[in-house]
Structure formats: C-alpha cells, structure tokens
C-alpha cells in the first residue's frame, strides 16, 4: 500500500519584480510505499524542497494529484482542488505526515520537553500528563534524555535538530518528510542527526528525504530519486543509482558530488 503517491504535479511561481514566471515542478510523479525510505537528490534549484512541501500542503501547486495513505487529498487543476474530501478529513490525514526542516524552528522560550509537548496538546488535544510522558520517550529515542529542561540556545545545532525530530515523532505520524535536515549543521554534528534517521529507518518508519548526504542515501535508501529542473529524471535502487546511473545528467551530478 502506498503511503505517499503523487501524480503529474506541476507548479509555476508567478511573475514578480520584473522576472518572468518560473516553472519549478514539471509532471512530478512518485510513489513511496509503507516502510520504504526514498531519498531525493539533485542540484540546487531542482525543485526538491518545493516538491516535498507540496506533499503536506505547505506549498500549493497548480496541477496534479496527491494521495496520502491511498486517500486522494488533492486533485488540482489550474490551482483549484477538486478532491471531495472535506477540509476536516484532509486536516486529519495531513497529521499523519511529520516534517523536519533545514532550520530547527524551535520556540526559544520553551524547553526541549515543552517544544516536543506543544503540538500533541494543542493539535491532538492529548492530556498534558500523557503528552509529557510521550515527549520524554521521544527525546530519549533521539538520545536527549539529559536535555529535557534545556532551552534551544543551550543546545548544539545537532541537538536542536534532534529535538525537532522528536517533536515531529510526538505527533505519531505514519510518514516522515525530511528537508535537507543536516544542511544547517556544522560537519561534526551531521552524524548524530543521520544516526537518528538511520534508527528510524531501521524501525520501519516510512521516510521521504531530500538530502545532499550521498553516503546516507547509498546506505539507507530503498530507492534514490534524481531531480533536475523541476522533473524526476531517474529513480533506482542505490546500488544501481550510484553504480550504473542511466541518465547522463545523473552521471554528471554524481561525478561532482562523489
């Protein structure tokens, strides 16, 4: 059963400040099965992050369909959603999708524990006591059992990103989206975040990951997707993708990255 499926997603940013319209997604179709890890790689400006943000509606799109857990959430034609799903149902379905951003986006005035508790209490209406225990468990999962009472300013970048992962997991999503989660980190802190992601993958979490960490994609992904100029040019298992890519543009990209 597909956890995420997109069909023919298109998006164009309108003309502004004298610049012409910019097509950022062109006929993007992708399926992510349950318990699968799919990594999206490609050059800057390829549309990778924009595509990821369309999946959970942080970004609108013009045409195409998006399914979550085999349910049609968005069926867009010229920017109009024709899906018959109610707004309430759509909101509940989107709660199944957790997301971790490049920037940690933690509330600076809240402790790590309070940051993780906030959404379950405010959105899912989980009782405070239950949310607190869940938040502790999630922080322990990401290796931060000793940082419950720490404020973000006292945490390293890697620790803040692990709090952000714990915050997403506390909502009990069925799938996790990662938008270049290590790009804002110093090199020596990258490993601790990738280690958490590897454990999640090993535990069977469905993951769609935009990344420039080729080693992670090679080791953890079930499939690697190459995007360029808003389109998917190649999809393959990692051994084939890295060992014998079929697309010339993919080969050029890997030569520059590896």
Percentage of the chain lying above the pLDDT 70 cut: 100
pTM of the predicted structure, to 2 decimals: 0.94
User: Which residues, in sequence order, are CB contacts of 62 under 8 Å at separation 6+?
Assistant: 10, 11, 12, 76, 78, 79
User: Which residues, in sequence order, are CB contacts of 56 under 8 Å at separation 6+?
Assistant: 94, 97, 99, 177
Nearest one of 4, 6, 1, 81 to 232, comparing CA atoms: 6
Which residues face 181 on adjacent strands? Answer: none
Question: What confidence score (pLDDT) does residue 218 get?
Answer: 96
Question: What confidence score (pLDDT) does residue 80 get?
Answer: 94
Pair 22, 30: CB distance under 8 Å:
no
Tens of pLDDT, residues 162-205: 999 999 999 999 999 999 999 989 888 999 999 999 999 999 99
Question: What confidence score (pLDDT) does residue 258 get?
Answer: 72
Q: How confident is the model at residue 18 (pLDDT cuts 50, 70, 90)?
A: confident
Tens of pLDDT, residues 3-13: 999 999 999 99
């Amino acid at each position: 059963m597909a956890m995420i499926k997109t069909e023919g997603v298109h998006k164009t940013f309108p003309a502004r400040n004298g610049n012409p319209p910019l097509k950022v997604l062109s006929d993007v179709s992708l399926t992510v099965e349950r318990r699968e890890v799919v990594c999206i790689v490609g050059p800057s400006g390829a549309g990778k992050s924009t595509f990821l943000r369309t999946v959970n509606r942080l970004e609108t799109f013009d045409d195409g369909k998006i399914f979550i857990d085999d349910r049609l959430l968005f069926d867009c034609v010229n920017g109009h959603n024709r899906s018959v799903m109610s707004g309430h149902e759509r909101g509940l379905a989107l709660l199944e999708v957790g997301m971790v951003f490049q920037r940690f986006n933690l509330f600076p005035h809240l402790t790590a524990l309070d940051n993780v508790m906030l959404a379950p209490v405010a959105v899912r209406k989980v009782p405070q006591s239950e949310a607190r225990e869940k938040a502790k468990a999630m922080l322990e999962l990401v290796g931060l059992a000793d940082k419950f009472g720490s404020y973000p300013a006292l945490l390293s970048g890697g620790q803040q990103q692990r709090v952000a992962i714990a915050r997403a997991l506390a909502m009990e999503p069925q799938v996790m989206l990662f938008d270049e989660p290590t790009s804002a980190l110093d090199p020596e802190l990258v490993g601790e975040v990738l280690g958490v992601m590897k454990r999640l993958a090993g535990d069977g979490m469905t993951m769609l990951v935009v990344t420039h960490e080729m080693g992670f994609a090679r080791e953890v992904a079930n499939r690697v997707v190459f995007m360029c100029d808003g389109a998917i040019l190649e999809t393959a298992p990692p051994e084939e993708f890295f060992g014998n890519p079929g697309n010339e543009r993919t080969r050029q990209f890997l030569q520059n990255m590896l």
